[in-house]
Amino acid sequence: DTEVTQTPKHLVMGMTNKKSLKCEQHMGHRAMYWYKQKAKKPPELMFVYSYEKLSINESVPSRFSPECPNSSLLNLHLHALQPEDSALYLCASSQLLEDTQYFGPGTRLTVL
């Protein structure tokens, strides 16, 4: 089973809202990732967790706050977003940091 699940599938929020994106995998992977993807662009790495510890933070604004409650779950807390943050947010996981990454279906986020 190489499934990574993400909820919600779609999210529309205002600039003053607080919302969270969720990602789950049950493959026993110890590395998990958040990517942001705009149309016709490659996925951009945002955060990397390895063994539930934040490993890489690619200079992402503080209005995005990741959380890894356990080895299967990864959250992305959103607060005071801007319209330009509208994108497809992808979660991925891999056995270890250097291994093949498996992606979830993504959350399509629209900020009004």
Interacting residue ranges for another protein, rule: CB under 8 A: 2, 4, 6, 40-43, 45, 48, 55-56, 90-92, 97-98, 100-106, 108
Least distance in angstroms from the C-beta of 41 to another protein: 6
Task: Provide the minimum distance between the beta carbon of 101 and another protein in the complex, in angstroms, as a whole number.
Answer: 6
Phi, psi of 72 (to 5 degrees): -100, -15
**46: exposed, middle or buried (C-beta count within 10 Å: 0-12, 13-18, 19+)?**
buried
Smallest separation (angstroms) from another protein to the CB of 66 = 15
| Of residues 16 and 40, the one with the C-beta less far from another protein | 40
Comparing CB distances to another protein, the nearer of 1 and 16 is 1
How far is Cα of residue 47 from the mean position of the Cα atoms in its chain? 8
